[in-house]
Each structure stands twice: as structure tokens, then as C-alpha cells.
Amino acid sequence: MARAAGKKQSKRKSAGRSARVARSGASRAGAKPRAAAKKKATRASVAKPRVKRAGPKPNTAPKRRPPLAPAVGGPARAAASPSGSARRAAAAPATPAAFATQRAHASSREELLFELARARAAVKAAIQGLSIANASRPIAAGKWSPLEIVLHLGERDRVRLEEFHRTLHGQPRTWADISDAEQAVQNEQHLSPLRALTWDSAVRRLDSLREQLLLRLHEVPALPNDIWQRGHAFADMMWGLPEHDRHHAEQIKRARIGEPVLTED
């Protein structure tokens, strides 16, 4: 009887242990799927959502240039086509004339005064810093020295002061139709009594005579305009001065830098 009771009790204990083991295994088996599901959910929340592009993908392939059309006419056609530099030169705007803005609205009187000032500035620049020794030396064989040129320029202003009134009233200047040989004789007659002047005296005389001439010019009214235009005796006489000044300024400048001197007087 005692053994039977003991067997029953041991059976109940083993059955209880089996049940606990079975429950424990079931709980562990259920925990594993839950943990795996939790990990999946965490990865899904962390992973960035994929964004779909709207529309078709852009074409990133390099563009091909269209084939060049075959040349018609061969080398002759190619030669006729201007080069790039020629096309750029043709397209470039033309260079405006010097002092175009100042000339645009200037009267004939203002333009003449402007040109006289520019030409005389060229003369002053050509003789600037010239020593007495160099001023007395001829600029070329058989030509005047800078001293004689300065005296000559002053004389041309003086002669215009003498003929100012007659030309203003329409009478031609006295040297209008003389030959070059006659002009040379006249120039020598004017220079002969002045050659004894020093270089400084010659320059002062040059400036003084031009100042007197400009004062007379400013006294002449701008109207009537025809007296300031080429074709009138007064304008023809006065418009010869700017070109004359520039010519002799260029002679002196060339002589100073050792270039061939212009042969015309």
C-alpha cells in the first residue's frame, strides 16, 4: 500500500514537471517569433522610403552634332567665306573720328579755333626742352633749323594779322596764287632780319604773335557763318594755319628722334 501511494505521488510530480517544461518551451517558442517580428518592424521604420521619379528618366546621352554639309564649289567656295577674324573685324563698329563729340555741335568758328589750338600744341610739344645748340642746327641738309622754323611760324601769324581786314571783306590774301619759288623768296625776306634773335626770344615772339591773332579772331562774330567756311577769302587764309603748324612740328619731331625729315617746306 505504501509503495503504491509512493508511485502515485512520483507520477504526479513527474507529470507536473513535464507540464512546466512544456509550458516553458511553449513560452520560449512564442517569444522568438515576437522578437523577430519586432526586429522587422524596427528595420522597416528606419529604412528610408523609396521615392519614385515622376515621368521618364532624362536623356543623359551626349548630344551629337549634325554632320557638316558637304562643301559646294571646293576650295574656291572656302576661300570666299571670310575667316573668323575677318567676320569680327567686319562686325566691329567703325572708330569715331578724333574729338567727334566736340565737333558734333560746333560752329565753323569754334571748329577753326579748336584746330588752331590743337596744331599749336603739336608745335610746342615738338620744341619742348630743345637746347640752344640743337635749335640752331639744321634739321637736314639744305633745310631750316628749329630756330628758323619757329621764326617762320611767327611770321605767318604776323602776315595774317596784316591781311586780316582785307580777307575779312572778301579780298584774297596776297600770296594766294604765287608759285613755290616766289613763296621761298618771300620767306627768306621775312627771315633775314630775324635770324639774330636768340632761341628764347624766338619762342616768346611765336607765342606773342599767336596770342594777338587769337584775340583778333575772337572779336569776329560767329555769324554770318560763311566767312568761317572754306571758299571765303578769310576762312581760306585762316584754315591754312593748322596744317602748316602740324607740318613743321612733324619736321622738328622727326629730326629730334633721328628719322628722315619731310622735304617740303
At 259, the pLDDT band (50, 70, 90 cuts) reads: confident
pLDDT at 260: 85
78-124 pLDDT per residue, tens: 444 445 545 554 554 554 566 666 566 689 999 999 999 999 999 99
Average confidence (pLDDT) over 7-26: 52
SS3 at position 232: strand
pLDDT at 106: 82
pLDDT at 210: 98
Stated pTM of the model: 0.62
SS3 at position 230: strand
| Residue 63 pLDDT > 60 | no
Q: How many other β-carbons are positioned within 10 Å of the β-carbon of residue 228?
A: 23
Torsion on CA atoms 196, 198, 202, 205, rounded to nearest 10 = -90
163-196 pLDDT per residue, tens: 999 999 999 999 998 999 999 999 999 999 999 9
| Residue 56 pLDDT > 70 | no
218-236 pLDDT per residue, tens: 999 999 999 999 999 999 9
30-41 pLDDT per residue, tens: 444 455 555 554
Q: Residue 139 forms beta bridges with which residues?
A: none
pLDDT at 94: 52
130-163 pLDDT per residue, tens: 999 999 999 999 999 999 999 999 999 999 999 9
DSSP for 56-118, please give it.
SPP--SPPPPPPPPPPSSTHHHHHHSPPHHHHHHHHSPPPPPTTHHHHHT--HHHHHHHHHHH
Mean pLDDT of the residues in the chain: 77
Cα distances (angstroms) measured from residue 32 to each of 40, 64, 164: 12, 61, 127
Cα distances (angstroms) measured from residue 92 to each of 23, 85, 95: 100, 10, 9
Query: Given this structure, which CATH class describes domain 104-257?
Result: mainly alpha
19-33 pLDDT per residue, tens: 554 455 544 544 444
Burial 150-163 (b: 16+ CB within 10 A, else e): bbbbbbbbebbeeb
pLDDT at 72: 43
Higher pLDDT, 115 or 43: 115
Domain ranges for the chain = 104-257
Residue 219 CA to residue 223 CA, distance in Å, equals: 12
